[in-house]
Structure 1
Amino acid sequence: MRTVDGRVAGRRGQATRQKLLDCLSEMLSSSPYRDVKVIDVARKAGTSPATFYQYFPDVEGAVLEIADQTAAESAELAELLAGRSWAGKAGWQTAQELVDGFMDFWRRNDAILRVVDLAAAEGDKRFNKLRMKILNAVNGPLTEAVAELQAKGRVDKDINPSAVAGSLVTMLSSVAAHQKGFSAWGVKQAELKPTLSLLTYLGVTGKKPAR
């Protein structure tokens, strides 16, 4: 772990750096990204702006670091699909656990994922690359799952596995980002997850689940 000027940060320095990131993450939950100032992050962390600048060039640089950490953690999403079956009751369980894990990941990282989505939509290639890394953690395994079922004759041969997977991942990420909004439509979380699980299972297998 190095400082902005290239020096290796010691244990205390690493702890200070992480505290700054933790404080910034907390602030992103309640403040618009562009309203967050270095002095506010430093004050919340109990240090000075000068210390902040030892570790990050600016707030955006620190936000990118948080986004990068989140992208690395998205490997847990791929684990939800590793070696899993999409046949029968096991497949229905796979769909449910994928939806549960995906929604939980988005909820835990809601603040930084909103910033990533915004910056990516504005054309920032750095944030778009991280966004794709997160989504690819699910898109890749889903594409392979559909292709495998297709090879076994269980899915229509004219279906494009990448198109199916991409559509499902887009659905999941859009719904996950809008979880709070569903309550305004009278949809409870307890009702939302089974619906997403059903749509995911149908999308991958083309069949109704065996429950």
Structure 2
Amino acid sequence: MTGQVTTVDGRVAGRRGQATRQKLLDCLGKMLGSSPYRDVKVIDVARKAGTSPATFYQYFPDVEAAVLELADGVVRESAELSELLTGRSWAGRAGGAAAEELVEGVLTFWRKHDAILRVIDLGAAEGDRRFVRLRTRVQGAVVKPLAETIEAERGRGRATAPEATPTALAASLVTMLAAASAQPKSLQALGAKQGDLRPALALLVHLGVTGRKPAAK
């Protein structure tokens, strides 16, 4: 953890306090992976972290505040997703590789942070503006550079579907990837095996960016 960390009452936390605060966040993150967000109680988080509710309240006024802290961390990490599109060529076989790596990178990120991203989606769906802003920032880390990539491909005369704006196409593709990542069991129950899903998603991404199927390997 870097930077100055303060308690609820404004005191600067020392190294031990920072470690305790981080342990509470780590335990909360694990609990969100197995329990519905609103079923998680302060006493349960504190017990799992081996401390007391009073200690929890030194660092967070409630569970929601701690959840938002976890969500902020995911948002900061999501900024690295833009690197999946930096300096990539979408011509020939390189385009197929770019699509595959984008799919793999986005799916890996969404599955790594599945628990907190589900909470963000829930809050956003309920109209909580804080969670709407968080989801927008996570998605924007991929949507913005992907839209720029589509725009650049159109400038080279390689993309089709002029009736769809680059941003709309990029947002649709990112939404598709996020949904596929969040629903692996239901998709598998429908017959879409995980091993078949990635190449299918990469095909759709390549089509969306270039207007063509990937070159044969």
- TM (norm. structure 2) is 0.94
Compute the displacement of 1:186 (Å): 2.1
User: Aligned match of 2:206 in 189, 194, 201?
Assistant: 201
Aligned counterpart, 2:86: 82
Please list every run of 5 or more consecutive structure 2 residues that lacks an aligned counterpart in the other structure.
Answer: none
Distance between the aligned counterparts of 1:189 and 1:102, measured in 2?
15
Distance between the aligned counterparts of 1:121 and 1:60, measured in 2?
16
Distance between the aligned counterparts of 1:183 and 1:155, measured in 2?
32
Compute the displacement of 1:154 (Å): 1.7
The aligned runs of 1:71-110 (5 Å cut-off) are 71-110=75-114
Compute the displacement of 1:172 (Å): 1.0
Q: C-alpha root-mean-square deviation of aligned residues, in Å? A: 1.0
**1:145 partner letter:** T
* Count of aligned pairs: 211
Compute the displacement of 1:158 (Å): 4.6
Compute the displacement of 1:155 (Å): 2.0
Distance between the aligned counterparts of 1:188 and 1:174, measured in 2?
15
Is 1:53 equivalent to 2:57 in the alignment?
Answer: yes
Compute the displacement of 1:142 (Å): 0.6
> SS in structure 1 opposite 2:85?
coil
Distance between the aligned counterparts of 1:148 and 1:79, measured in 2?
16
User: Aligned match of 2:115 in 111, 118, 124?
Assistant: 111
Distance between the aligned counterparts of 2:67 and 2:109, measured in 1?
18
Compute the displacement of 1:159 (Å): 4.0
Compute the displacement of 1:88 (Å): 1.0
**1:198 partner letter:** L
Aligned counterpart, 1:38: 42
Aligned counterpart, 2:143: 139
Please list every run of 5 or more consecutive structure 1 residues that lacks an aligned counterpart in the other structure.
Answer: none
- TM (norm. structure 1) is 0.97
- 1:34-91 Cα distance to aligned partner (Å, 9 max, x none): 0100000000000010110111110000000001100111122111111111111111
